[in-house]
Structure 1
């Protein structure tokens, strides 16, 4: 099936993760469409333009005709980081940092 993915220039790590997963499993990815937002990618899948590998956290985005399936092998992981100004004392930032320190993302 044709693949819908982020353009490499926009998200090189994610693009390489997706295409690398295909290659590692003996397939040559055939990209049908590029999109720069996950919601757009899922909408393109809904329109029948192809398939996409998306983060598990997006399973709640229900679209007509879209089915989310787990990968047969261990899913690839993409590390995400956060940066902020060291001298920022905004309460919102403090609350956010406390929330992510205690969150279970796995």
Structure 2
């Protein structure tokens, strides 16, 4: 599933992916860094993460973000920062109490 080389091309060499699951949601507890590692990380969870999901673009903290929901329930928010080099930061908010507040953006 997915095109790993195409994903890697969108990422900056020094991209970092941070996840906030708060110890409650399944999320990486440490940052994942580097183009190859981040691409492989995203590809690894893609089959179970994105299936039957709805993505809604919203503004969060003054930046564009994506709310990711299944059956009307938000289970993640993704904030992406990019530069001329490509996507250089991914922030996955998956902590249920934070998402409860974010869900009002739908």
The TM-score with structure 2 as length reference comes to 0.24
Q: Which has the higher contact order (CA 8 A, sep 6+)?
A: 2
> Which protein has the larger Cα radius of gyration, Structure 1 or Structure 2?
1
Q: Which has more strand, going by share of residues? A: 2
Structure number having the greater helix percentage: 1
